[in-house]
């Protein structure tokens, strides 16, 4: 008897020690990562003590953020497991919700947010890892401090009225901007904005192209909030460079704590800042001729596709002279409530869609993603074994398609990979509006899989019959019934809205 209890006790002890060893290991891993990160800070020769401390702080922030995300990820996984019927998905590697935005600046006057790196979510998105998306929002009557980015950008104004000033050597230009304007801002351009409206917020979505990390640089700042990059240099060096005899003058200019990035401006200041603004960026499309630098408005054009169920406005790289360098196309889709766009697929472009208004959902067919084999997305480098397994599966019965599904609301972002069939649906309550950045957009085509222009109807009778194993008539009854093109009445719409909204 005693022997039995002793054995049980020993066993318990053994498990407890295993558990604690695991916990210790986990802590140690994080500790090690932190130490390694902070170690690197210490060995940055150009860092002074203050910068070292800040660097170390950033290491801590980074790890904290990572832990937080892991936690959210776990909770999300549990949630989704309970949620979906039949075809399960634990998470969606193509969907980014409000948790995926990192706030960079949050002030009374405005805010900026950056979407996490695409590969932090899933390795399936490594093809677009050098793209980042950010949101800029300024309150009425504000001026936002001049800064530059180490990245090329394409911007789309989603709301409001303002001016943007672009400064390069010997050149300063100010343009009026409003909803629908597209702007290309070359890397290193010093940019500042004024929201000149009395009521409306000025909102801009930016797509940045940069390998790796991207940063904003403020020169006209102070000690902090924001800090000026001039403070990275010794005062003596600055005094010499500016040819100023008193160091104090330099220290005073850069030594104050500033009032933030978004500053309230007076009527007079706004008048002065905006009075030279030109409205003519150029009439789009710019065929031939010079290279206008200013914005053009997407809504000045006729939609490339439109009917009662939606409209699509597009700026393709070859039509907008500033876009080809980046090979990014920009489009705006307005899907009527209860309606849908697609199914279709893109031949070359990876599409990053940002929801600006409305609610709905998307569905996409993906042969890559298998919820059963995927781990945490952060480390979802698929193992050899998994890839072999997949290849075997493919050998047997062709690829299998996972239904990727995601709810959409303002601020959510989703990615569509090349060749992946996709459909986007608006809820019954409101129109769904999306701004899309199409990466690798040159020569991209949308191949429609339903509707008047669907690609299947171009096949010969024999090809249809052999492929489906039924007479052509039966194929045509399905594929030739829809008379609309691209935008269609959605499933609920057609049945009189009797279905529960999903």
Q: Which two tokens stand for residue 262?
A: 């978004």
* From 185-193, 195-203, 361-369, 443-451, span contacting Cu ion (CB under 5 A): 361-369
Q: Which is nearer to Cu ion, 281 or 406 (CB)?
A: 406
Cβ at position 342, least distance to Cu ion in Å: 16
The DSSP annotation for 126-187 comes to GGGTTEEEEEEEE-TTEEEEEEEESSEEEEEEEE-EEEEEEEETTEEEEEEEETTEEEEE-T
Shortest reach from residue 365's CB to Cu ion, in Å: 8
From the CB of 211, what's the least distance to Cu ion, in Å?
Answer: 23
102-141: contacts with Cu ion (CB under 5 A):
none
Name the minimum Å distance from CB 422 to Cu ion. Answer: 11
Q: Which residue has the tokens 């401390």?
A: 53
Within 8 A by CB and 6+ apart from 393, the residues are 399, 400
Residue among 366 and 432 whose Cβ is closer to Cu ion: 366
Q: Is the peptide bond before 343 cis (omega within 30 degrees of 0)?
A: yes
Tell me the number of residues near Cu ion by CB under 5 A: 2
Q: At its nearest, how many Å lie between Cu ion and the CB of residue 364?
A: 8
Q: Which is nearer to Cu ion, 76 or 368 (CB)?
A: 368
- Please say which residue, 229 or 401, places its beta carbon nearer to Cu ion: 401
> CB atoms < 10 A from the CB of 221, how many?
23
Q: Which residues pair with 137 in a beta bridge?
A: 111, 203
Only segment of 49-57, 367-375, 379-387, 468-476 that touches Cu ion (CB under 5 A):
367-375
Inter-residue contact 304 to 405 (CB < 8 Å): no
Pick 79 or 419: Cβ nearer Cu ion: 419
The nearest distance, CB 420 to Cu ion, in angstroms, is 5
Stretch binding Cu ion (CB under 5 A), from 19-27, 358-366, 405-413, 490-498: 358-366
Which residue among 368, 370, 382, 393 contacts Cu ion (CB under 5 A)?
A: 368
Query: Which range of residues in 197-205, 283-291, 359-367, 382-390 is near Cu ion by CB under 5 A?
Result: 359-367
Cα separation, 148 vs 273, whole angstroms: 19
Give whichever of 91 and 311 is closer to Cu ion, judged by the CB atom.
91
Nearer to Cu ion, 123 or 189 (CB): 123
Distances (CA, A) of 116 to 8, 83, 348, 382: 49, 25, 24, 21
Both tokens assigned to 495? 């049945």
User: Among 9-17, 231-239, 365-373, 443-451, which window interacts with Cu ion (CB under 5 A)?
Assistant: 365-373
Taking each helix axis from N to C end, the angle separating 472-479 and 461-468, rounded to the nearest 10 degrees, works out to: 90
- Residue numbers 78-107 binding Cu ion by CB under 5 A: none
CB of 439 to Cu ion, least distance (A): 16
Give the residue with the Cβ less far from Cu ion, 124 or 408. Answer: 124
* Of 260, 262, 258, 253, residue with least CA distance to 230: 253
Contact (Cβ atoms closer than 8 angstroms) between residue 388 and residue 395: no
**Closest distance of CB 417 from Cu ion, Å:** 5
Can residue 366 be called a binding residue for Cu ion (CB under 5 A)?
yes
Helix (H, G, I), strand (E, B) or coil at 303: coil
Element (H, E) at 25: helix 2-42
Q: Would you tell me which residues interact with Cu ion (CB under 5 A)?
A: 366, 368
């Amino acid at each position: 008897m005693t022997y039995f209890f002793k054995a049980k006790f020993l066993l318990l002890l053994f498990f407890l020690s295993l558990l604690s060893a695991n916990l210790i290991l986990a802590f140690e891993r994080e500790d090690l990562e932190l130490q390694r990160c902070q170690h690197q800070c210490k060995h940055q020769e150009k860092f002074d003590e203050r910068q070292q401390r800040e660097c170390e702080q950033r290491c801590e922030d980074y790890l904290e953020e990572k832990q937080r995300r892991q936690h959210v990820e776990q909770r999300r996984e549990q949630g989704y497991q309970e949620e979906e019927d039949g075809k399960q998905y634990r998470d969606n590697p193509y969907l980014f919700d409000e948790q995926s935005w990192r706030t960079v600046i949050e002030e009374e006057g405005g805010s900026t947010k950056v979407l996490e790196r695409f590969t932090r979510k899933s390795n399936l998105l490594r093809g677009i890892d050098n793209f980042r998306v950010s949101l800029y929002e300024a309150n009425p009557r504000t001026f936002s401090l001049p800064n530059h980015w180490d990245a090329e950008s394409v911007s789309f104004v989603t709301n409001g009225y303002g001016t943007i000033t672009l400064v390069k050597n010997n050149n300063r230009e100010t343009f009026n901007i409003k909803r629908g304007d597209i702007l290309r801002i070359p890397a290193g351009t010093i940019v500042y904005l004024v929201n000149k409206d009395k009521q409306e917020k000025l909102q801009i979505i930016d797509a940045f192209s940069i390998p790796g990390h991207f940063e904003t640089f403020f020169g006209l700042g102070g000690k902090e909030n924001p800090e000026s990059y001039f403070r990275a240099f010794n005062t003596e060096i600055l005094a010499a460079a500016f040819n100023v005899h008193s160091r104090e003058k330099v220290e005073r200019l850069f030594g104050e704590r500033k009032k933030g990035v978004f500053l309230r401006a007076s009527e007079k200041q706004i008048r002065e800042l905006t009075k030279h603004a030109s409205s003519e960026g150029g009439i789009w499309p710019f065929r031939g001729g010079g290279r206008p630098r200013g914005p053009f408005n997407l809504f000045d054009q006729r939609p490339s596709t439109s009917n009662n169920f939606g409209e699509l406005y597009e700026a393709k790289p070859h039509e907008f002279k500033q876009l080809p360098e980046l090979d990014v196309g920009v489009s705006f889709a307005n899907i009527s409530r209860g309606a849908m766009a697609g199914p279709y697929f893109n031949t070359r472009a990876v599409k990053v869609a940002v929801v600006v208004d409305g609610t709905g959902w998307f569905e996409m067919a993906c042969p890559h993603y298998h919820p059963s084999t995927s781990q945490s997305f952060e480390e979802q480098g698929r193992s050899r074994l998994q890839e072999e397994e997949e290849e075997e599966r493919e050998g047997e019965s062709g690829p299998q398609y996972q239904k990727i599904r995601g709810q959409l609301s303002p601020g959510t972002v989703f990615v569509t990979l090349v060749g992946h069939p996709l459909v986007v649906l608006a809820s019954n309550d409101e129109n769904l509006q999306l701004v899309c950045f199409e990466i690798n957009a040159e020569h991209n085509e949308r191949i429609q899989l339903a509707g008047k222009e669907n690609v299947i109807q171009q096949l010969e009778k024999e090809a249809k019959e052999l492929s489906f194993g039924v007479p052509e008539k039966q194929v045509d009854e399905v594929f030739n019934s829809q008379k609309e093109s691209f935008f269609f009445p959605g499933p609920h719409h057609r049945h009189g809205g009797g279905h529960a909204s999903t």
